[in-house]
Structure 1
Amino acid sequence: MLFFSILSPRSLSKWLGALVSQVDFCATLAALTAGKPDPKTMRDSENVLPALLGDSPVGRSHIVEHAGRLALREGNLKFIPPGKTTEMLGPWKTAVIEPPGALFDVRADPGEKVDLASSRPEELKAMAAKLEELRKGE
């Protein structure tokens, strides 16, 4: 899944860092054209037009990523649950994430080298619960 950090078209020097996924383009384009997205076919799509226009620093609250297994991104934080996953974007090596999972600040550490799981256990626990809730479709 692709996700984007958005630069405001009103001021290219204004870095918004809004979370936006390609699935959001359906609902956003529908809003732009005064259409209504079909909740059956676009259930995960969110209207992020305010972020794209520079009116809001927030696109969506979270993104579920998939790289061999699901991971959750909320703001600057990314949670990867325990188990086997794919390491980075290549050369497609398998990595094993030990319990209770890994937590990264992708803004400060885009290479995901510093695991914050032990220093931020409450955030890890909350993100693990949220990912499980999303998996169940609640």
Structure 2
Amino acid sequence: MIYSVSVYKDKKGSLLFIPYAYDENGIGRNVNKPQTITGPKGYDQIPQKIKDCLEVSKSGSYSSSDLMVKVHEVVTGIKSYKQFSKERDSVTVDFDPKEGYTFTPNFREKDGSYGFKEETLKLGLYPDDEELVLTLMKAYEFCN
């Protein structure tokens, strides 16, 4: 099984980490257990935030009612996903216990949703903390 977290970066450099999990019907959804970093000064926390969110993704099954929360709205107060995404770049971080990490830059669609780019960046099973930070930041260079 692959575990995922979406990491959103705003224009000020603040990061919002939202774990991703599957409900009982196999539909992927955001989990209302976000993590945040305010501004670039906290980037040393990136590896732990990624790992914490992947642990939430991995930790078990969720009911669809548990996963219907609009996490972006809870954290930012912005009701419209289109408005939320307009101000943020997005990278999806996946972890496969057999292969390691994959960082997928996303591009913004006209409706405010994100699509996946073809380019991905990969790390093995046991990257050091600096590699996680540098790879995430590099992935943002491919957004949009």
TM-score, reference length from structure 2:
0.27
Structure with more of its chain in strand, by fraction: 2
Higher relative contact order (CA 8 A, sep 6+): 2
Structure with more of its chain in helix, by fraction: 2
TM-score, reference length from structure 1:
0.28
Tell me which structure has the larger Cα radius of gyration: 1
